[in-house]
A and B are shown apart, each in its own frame.
Chain A
Amino acid sequence: MSKRRWDEEEIEQTLTDFPAVKDRQSKDELYRKIEQAEQMPNRFSKIKQKNRRPRFTPLVAAGAAAVIMLLIIPSFLDNSSPLTGGDDSGDEPSTAGVPEENDQDNNRENENAENKNAENEYAENDADNDIPEENDNYEASNNDNAPSNDQGSSVQNSETAENQAEQNTENDVSESQNERESETSGEKHDYPVLSASVHETDSGEKTVTISVSDELRSTGEEAIAAALNESDPTSNEDLQSITRIERDAENQGELTIDFAEDHELGSLTSNEYDALEFTIEEILSAYGVEEVQFSTDGESGVAFGPAGIVETLTIPFEAEGYFVSEEENRLISARTAGETNGEDEWIPLEETVEAMETIESDEEAGIVSAIPDFVEIAEVDVAGQEASVYYAADEELSDEEMEHFFQSMRLTGVKYNLEKLKLIDEDQAEEPVIEYEYDERIIVE
């Protein structure tokens, strides 16, 4: 049937000789079909609509559900009012009509905080981000879980010293959070803690790198709180004066950060303020926040050193995805790298991954793709809040390449609010190489 040996030139010539294939439709026939299709209402706008920002969709239903929950809550307050110190509801998940705010006076540890996986050395090896220690500090200082009656989830700090040693605030799961989770999968999922680190380049410019740890929190707000504390670039750890973080129940892109009245952010140097702004923007952008409202003890605005009173910070949306900063040998977001997608519109995960794969290396800026040249993304299959990335590698990935690649995918998964991410080497196995469920990392040999 076929000869055994081929040379490359022969293959190239054969390809060049492939036949011209002609359309059998006539020009007029084709134009008629196009006209007919054009008359069909909003064919493409429907598709576009369907693709818009799934991560910001607790929507009206969630809002309405939260309102209903708030109406239900009072009937439970007599037994378990978080304001008065309720019963020991422990770590049990919420049941219908019983929000997890009941947990707020319970002195308990977040199991997920202990769930750090030693296998992920990427974040742990970073001298700038001593995650366990900083996280412990945060938890020790965030103690009085005074509940929020607002619709959004909240993380609250203590004003009383006696609770400080005992309480962990990061299990403050609100009803709206539960609504969001049940909307996507019917199950609660955990949120990884990210870590940003500001560096100064050789040319004296500031840049920020980012990583994802295996620490998890049970709400997005708790994860943001932990991430900000871990990444705090200020010399006095000023972000510990955050008393409340609350995501808008109806628009997950909006966030409120409240600081204690006695915060010392007003005395930040301009260098510290720049670093802080970088950090806040990077962390919040990575969690899908678009705008943050600052307040001090409930009053709008925070005095940020040289910037004066800042009430709102809009996180610039430019591009999704993560790349490698060669100078730092760490991941850098596309927005920090100066990438832009050219439109102020949400980009599907598939396109983000494609952009991450095909980014043109900027040798001058030292930005390269986190996906090595010899790795080819064969497919990104998204189903709801789960994604499978199929890839093929022509060569064996070094540990560092693999870590960059996997970390970049995982960080991207955070932005897209994925509950599960599978990375599958097409050539090696049918099973995933790594499967992140965001509550554990499973390595498949």
Chain B
Amino acid sequence: MKEEFERLYQQYHHQLFQYLFYLVRHRETAEELVQEVYIKVLRSYETFEGKSTEKTWLYSVAKHVAIDHIRKQSRKKRKAEGKEYEWSEREFEIEDRAPLPDEAVMQKDEMQHVYKMMEKCSANQQQVLILRYIQALSIAETADVLGWTESKVKTTQHRAIKALKNHLEKHAEEFQAKEASR
């Protein structure tokens, strides 16, 4: 098992962790989830049929692990507080506990703004934005990870960018209106 782990770690760990982080937006949670991904992968490694590439298979496992986690959190939260939709709930975690990754680049104001507004996009749109732009996966790889057709990836990507643009502009207008009223 260790041999396989070493190899997978060497080849994919950085990408997997980053993907999980941008999905859940919380470092400690991403650390826990990446363990779970390895456990699942190592347990089923022998049965991996090679229908997809090893890389997209790992991403796909990570996606399921992250979505499961988000859903669990969502249910807990909904029970406690009433109606809130799962993907937007991460905002609470982020604002309360872990604002932004502390890597230096995020200090850039515009980037922080995009990062924050991404959350307002739908779950599928966020998936595509993360996989296509942040993780630099190809359309075919993204389709494989998400179990979609390539045309759905393209359509969702197109809509995601448009949606993100709208959110950014809307937020900027609101911000400026607030500033003006002061």
Most chain-A CB neighbours within 10 Å: which of B13, B75, B168? B168
Q: Shortest distance in angstroms between B102's beta carbon and chain A's nearest beta carbon? A: 9
The answer to the question of A46 belonging to the interface, with a C-beta cut-off of 8 Å to chain B, is: no
Task: Using known A-B contacts A18-B111, A21-B21, A22-B17, determine if residue A44 contacts B40 with beta carbons closer than 8 Å.
Answer: yes
**Is B103 in the interface zone, CB < 8 Å from A?**
yes
Q: Is B122 an interface residue (CB 8 A)?
A: yes
Given A16-B134, A381-B75 in contact, is the A21-B22 Cβ separation under 8 Å?
Answer: yes
A19 at the A/B interface (Cβ < 8 Å)? yes
Say whether, besides A2-B168, A21-B103, A34-B42, A14 and B155 are in contact (CB < 8 Å): no
Q: Is the CB of A22 within 8 A of B34?
A: no
Count A-B pairs with CB separation below 8 Å. Answer: 137
**Chain B residues near A358 (CB-CB < 8 A):** 146-149, 152
Given A3-B172, A373-B155, are A8 and B162 neighbors across the interface (CB < 8 Å)?
A: yes
Q: Binary interface profile of B, 57-97, with partner A (CB < 8 Å = 1, else 0)?
A: 00000000000000100110010000101110000000000
Taking a contact as CB atoms under 8 Å apart, the answer to whether B42 and A14 are in contact is no
0 or 1 for each of B139-182: is its CB under 8 Å from A? (1 = yes)? 00000001111001001000101101100110111011001000
Known A14-B114, A18-B22; 18 more pairs at CB < 8 Å = A1-B109, A1-B113, A1-B172, A2-B113, A3-B110, A4-B169, A7-B165, A12-B133, A18-B106, A18-B111, A21-B22, A22-B103, A23-B31, A27-B6, A38-B39, A44-B40, A358-B147, A426-B85
* Inter-chain contact A37/B35, CB cutoff 8 Å: yes
Let me know if A34 and B5 touch, CB within 8 A: yes
Q: Is the CB of A378 within 8 A of B161?
A: no
Write out, one digit per residue, whether chain A residues 339-363 have a CB within 8 A of any chain B CB (1) or not (0): 0000000000010001000101100
Distance in angstroms between the alpha carbons of A73 and B148 in the assembled complex: 55
CA distance A235 to B6 in the complex (A): 67
Complex contact B38–A34 (CB within 8 A): yes
When the two chains form the complex, which single residue of A6, A21, A360, A376 contacts B17, counting CB atoms closer than 8 Å? A21
Interface residue A379 (Cβ < 8 Å from any Cβ of B): yes
Q: CB-defined interface of B94-136 with A at 8 Å, one 1/0 digit per residue?
A: 0000000101111001110111000000111000010001101
Q: Are B101 and A19 in contact (CB under 8 A)?
A: yes
Is A430 in contact with B115, judged by CB distance below 8 angstroms? no
Q: Give the A-binding residues of B (Cβ under 8 A).
A: 2, 5-6, 9, 13-14, 17-18, 21-22, 27, 30-31, 34-36, 38-40, 42-43, 71, 74-75, 78, 83, 85-87, 101, 103-106, 109-111, 113-115, 122-124, 129, 133-134, 136, 146-149, 152, 155, 159, 161-162, 164-165, 168-169, 171-173, 175-176, 179
Q: Is the CB of B133 within 8 A of A6?
A: no
Name which residue of chain B comes closest to A426, CB basis.
Answer: B85
Q: Verify A376–B122 contact, CB threshold 8 A.
A: yes
- Can you list 30 A-B pairs with a CB-CB distance of less than 8 A? A1-B175, A3-B110, A7-B165, A8-B165, A11-B114, A11-B168, A12-B133, A15-B114, A15-B129, A17-B105, A17-B111, A18-B133, A19-B101, A19-B103, A19-B104, A20-B18, A21-B18, A23-B14, A23-B17, A23-B34, A25-B31, A30-B38, A33-B35, A34-B38, A34-B42, A44-B43, A358-B147, A358-B149, A379-B123, A381-B78
The answer to whether B134 touches A22, judged by C-beta atoms less than 8 angstroms apart, is: no
Mark out the residues of chain A between 111 and 134 whose CB falls within 8 Å of any chain B CB in the assembled complex: none
Q: B22, B31, B147, B164: which contacts A24 (Cβ < 8 A)?
A: B31
Question: Which of A6, A8, A16, A30 is in CB contact (< 8 Å) with B9?
Answer: A30
Contact of B39 among A23, A34, A390 (CB under 8 A): A34
CA distance A44 to B104 in the complex (A): 38
Give the residue name and chain of the A residue nearest to B2 (CB): A31
A205 lies within 8 A of chain B by Cβ: no
Determine the distance from Cα of A392 to Cα of B159 in the docked complex, in whole angstroms.
13
CB distance from B177 to the nearest CB of A (A): 11
In the A-B complex, the 6 residue pairs with the smallest Cβ-Cβ separation, listed nearest first, are A15-B133, A19-B103, A19-B105, A23-B17, A2-B172, A360-B149
